[in-house]
Structure 1
């Protein structure tokens, strides 16, 4: 693969960076967080007008059918600006609907998503926080022309503002692994569905969902009932690598802020960047973030080419989880105590990158996937 950006990719990156620098300053991020809003509606409308919400979705629905790698670049810039918009949960669900949903669901849901009129979420995690399909225990029973859900989900992002949530459930009793898995789109206002807010380090709100015999039309099932194990894994992998892109973008911006500070902050009559200890720290920061970017871009490229990418996705996530927060901690150390004050902007990036690195699987969980994919441990 070629890790260098081509002309189209550079243009997309530069336009996105310029737009977000103007429209998503730290003051907006602070405002949304302080007011307890889920997102900034005006910024969301503008991203829809730019076509970002349809960047990899079908032209027939109003999208552009661009390569998946373009979406990854866009997410990297959104992470760089820590833009307060629910693009991650919405696009994760939209991509799954596009790939696995019925023509009716695609035609009904995606045009509204692309126009910015419909927000989506998705729900995977349950008690224990595991990322394999054995962890999925939310019960789904077929009753007539409905699927009835009972149980709970954790760490659901963007739920309070979403119109619908794509839920991974187990529709065959006593099944394990990928057997008996179903993907179903649930209206967030459904009778019997309630939620408990879970404030996060990033300043956003995740939710715990409670399903008390929630009836969902069978027509809202993606693909075949009981047979969505592979589709669920694909959705999860897309979510993971887009999360990596956001971590890389936020980390890159944070270390650049640290470098600028090291050039201007003086001690003993010279910039602190003149001291070898600070120089080595900065070099390590670049090494970590560059490595995370290369691994993330490789996984994005393989997905765009239609190639298997499970190893590359989990490699990128394990590396991002370890090295990007380490780089940001070094950036905090370069700034010293001021980095920890609420009034200073660096903490906005640190908290979000740190929180994102704790989502969608730990380094250990993703290393386990890599070990399985390269044949060191038996597959499931």
Structure 2
């Protein structure tokens, strides 16, 4: 299998890295996360100008038709620079709208998304769901020619910046049923929607959402009512694959920073990088880095060609297990090799530690995916 990027993918990766080098150095990132908005409108406009927002969307809705392989180098660069802009939440929500939405919804929502005028978020997880996609208690009751949504959503990444939120709600069945789950596009400022925003451990912005009889029209329902679970699960498998690529970039950054520190920090009159015990630990970190890079190429290429939902889920869970293990190893080793300095706000490695820690938890932790992988393996 050819693990080299093609010319267009390499040009995009190089262009994005140049853009981030100019606009997203560590000091600029500090200013962005300290701002009230929690993201940079200038950087978001740059993403739109370079085509990143249209990259994962089909050509028929104005995008570039890119899949997991096309986004792989993008996510890797975002991980390397610890970008906090809500790129992945917008990608996930916009792909669901592209898959399930009508032509009118495509025109009204996806065009502005591609132009950088709209930001999206996906609200699915709930307080009792524990990563189980079918555990949806939020209800959507028919009301006139529309629906009324009531329930709670938890840890909605990108929600504080979002203009519209794709919300899952149950139109039939009871909590835990595979059937009966629907998706709606809800205005972030809709009456009855209460949002409690906060910073996450890694300085991204997220929110808990309470829906208290939020009215939406029939035109805000995505696709047919009651059959959205398969698309939601596919979106989460795609998300975990993208997190694998993002983790690969963050790991490379952590390794580079740690190696530079070992070369410059002196003890007993010699760089600590000359100590054999530390060299062995650094070698292990670079081996993990290369394993992650190889895995992201393989998983992304498989995801773009698979039609079997169970095999897709098995591969995504396997990738997340390895990603979570690698995130834990590299984040902890990088901080330990930096000593006490590794936990200070002034060093990028402490922020990389936080992002890698959260990547290991997003869209299912290692324990959840290990159980899921074993179940799917037995069923194969």
TM above 0.5:
yes
From the superposition, tell whether residues 60 and 160 of structure 1 become closer, same or farther in structure 2 (CA, over 3 Å): same
Match of 1:265 in 2: 265
- Give yes or no for contact 1:292–1:324 (8 Å, CA) kept in 2: no
Listed as ranges, the gaps of 5+ residues in structure 1 are none
Match of 2:119 in 1: 119
Distance across 1 between alignment mates of 2:127 and 2:193: 18
From the superposition, tell whether residues 58 and 291 of structure 1 become closer, same or farther in structure 2 (CA, over 3 Å): same
How far the C-alpha of 1:129 sits from its partner, in A, is: 4.5
Name the SS of the counterpart of 2:153 in structure 1.
strand
> Given the alignment of the two structures, is residue 108 of structure 1 paired with residue 103 of structure 2, yes or no?
no
Deviations 1:302-349 (A, max 9, x none): 222244421121111111112223212111111111111112222222
How far the C-alpha of 1:61 sits from its partner, in A, is: 3.7
Match of 2:132 in 1: 132
How far the C-alpha of 1:191 sits from its partner, in A, is: 1.1
Match of 1:12 in 2: 12
Match of 1:348 in 2: 351
Q: TM-score, normalised by structure 2?
A: 0.94
- Give yes or no for contact 2:158–2:205 (8 Å, CA) kept in 1: yes
Distance across 1 between alignment mates of 2:30 and 2:81: 12
Match of 1:57 in 2: 57
C-alpha RMSD over aligned residues? 1.8
Listed as ranges, the gaps of 5+ residues in structure 2 are none
Distance across 2 between alignment mates of 1:232 and 1:183: 9
- Give yes or no for contact 1:292–1:316 (8 Å, CA) kept in 2: no
Name the SS of the counterpart of 1:283 in structure 2.
helix
Name the SS of the counterpart of 1:342 in structure 2.
coil
Distance across 1 between alignment mates of 2:174 and 2:51: 44
Match of 2:362 in 1: 359
Deviations 1:54-105 (A, max 9, x none): 0122334432223431112211111111123111111110111112211221
From the superposition, tell whether residues 317 and 179 of structure 1 become closer, same or farther in structure 2 (CA, over 3 Å): same
Match of 2:144 in 1: 144
How far the C-alpha of 1:198 sits from its partner, in A, is: 3.3
Distance across 2 between alignment mates of 1:359 and 1:173: 27
- Give yes or no for contact 1:80–1:249 (8 Å, CA) kept in 2: yes
Distance across 2 between alignment mates of 1:125 and 1:158: 13
Match of 1:326 in 2: 329
